[in-house]
Amino acid sequence: MTARITTLPSGLTIATEYVPSALSVAIGAWVAVGARDEPDEHAGASHFLEHLVFKGTESRTAQDISRSVDRRGGDINAFTGKEYTAYYCRLPLDEAAFGVALVGDLVSSPALRDPDVETERQVILEELAMDDDEPEDVAHRLLAEALYPEHPLGRETAGSRETVEAMTADELRAFHRSRYTPGSTVVAVTGAVDHEHMVAAAAGAFEPMVPGERRERGSGPGLPRPGAVRQDDDTEQVQYLLGMRAFPREDPDREAFEILVHVLGGGMSSRLFDQVRERRGLAYSVYAAASQFDDAGAMTIYAGTMPNHLDAVREIVDHELDVLRTDGITEDELDVAIGSLTGSFVLGLEDTGSRMARLATSLTTMGRIRSVEDQLVAWRNVTLDDVRRVAERVLGGARIEVTVGPS
């Protein structure tokens, strides 16, 4: 099950992974443009385009798209990230050619009609309003703004009401022409498929793309804005977040960082889950998470708790961070974390969709695919000293606290 990669003269990259026992095929097109690649006045353009693509192409209506996928028992979707936009579908194996043609048509030839722009503008404004009504989403937005001040990484992926209302159909069409190019696009297909057949199918499906290379990314974020951010809200719980900057995705300490985050708050065996929920019952949801980009990264701790429990949660979090920094983790915690990360990674390989996303994301963000064995070895080689070093690098930096809820 080795991945094969072909880059066409146009710059379009096609990767396949042959999975002999698979009954499904997963097809994805990752475009290397996301929320951080937009000028301030066009914040949300990538997300706007992601919506518009499904309104139809030059040859397919929105109903044609949805019905053709439903008729074959498949599914199709998309999402916008900070550094890329992804379009993907999963279908029965014998529909591979159809799937490549469909995804290629959506990404290469969306109609982007004026009436559709206006309709979808209202949908996105409703989405922004919905997010404003979710206190946890508001808290994460405030934390991102403080972690990456005055930088696109700190902006809402969907943009703001002002930018969404102001963007014109012509501007969105121009954004698509200039950014959705072969050199910016990776096509990944996984299943019991023939590589050469998929290359030929993708070459035809994505041919309408305007020729162009991948654009250079703008400068990285400056220093974070440490301190406390508080927003009153009439809710039953306080949304508590603590964040600190970490390091980019290709840092040599990446795997050690993932293990540190897992031990702290990555699962039911983690320290925060045990201390906050299991032992004291102070929260239903509590976790730690890592985010990594081309030139920056962060660790985030979250808990949703009642106002009278906030001080206790804060004390536990501070204590666990201090202990991690001074004492590191135990041999048993290291073993559990390695087992969890490697095991979940291997289990995910049973799904063609997960395999496809791994290929597309790796090629889009790093320009290469790390083999399954190399990834497993990277986790297994992490030592206690590695984790201790990462704890000092990350936990010794500035901290940002965000609370959203009753004062």
Question: Catalytic residues, which ones?
Answer: 50
Burial class (CB in 10 A: 0-12, 13-18, 19+), 217: middle
Q: How far apart are CA 246 and CA 244, in angstroms?
A: 6
What lies within 8 Å, CB to CB, of 168 at 6+ separation is 117
Contact 69, 78 (CB under 8 A): no
Mode of pairing for the β-strands spanning 297-305 and 238-245: antiparallel
What lies within 8 Å, CB to CB, of 218 at 6+ separation is 36, 37, 152
What DSSP string runs through 112-165?
--HHHHHHHHHHHHHHHHHHHT-HHHHHHHHHHHHHSTTSGGGS-TT--HHHHH
Contact 50, 79 (CB under 8 A): yes
Contact 237, 135 (CB under 8 A): yes
The DSSP H or E segment spanning 311 is helix 310-327
User: Which residues are bridge partners to 87 per DSSP?
Assistant: 29, 78
Mode of pairing for the β-strands spanning 75-80 and 238-245: unpaired
Measured at the alpha carbon of residue 303, what is the angle toward residues 298 and 379, in degrees to the nearest 5?
Answer: 45
Nearest C-alpha neighbor of 258 from the set 84, 359, 375: 375
End-to-end CA distance of the chain: 55
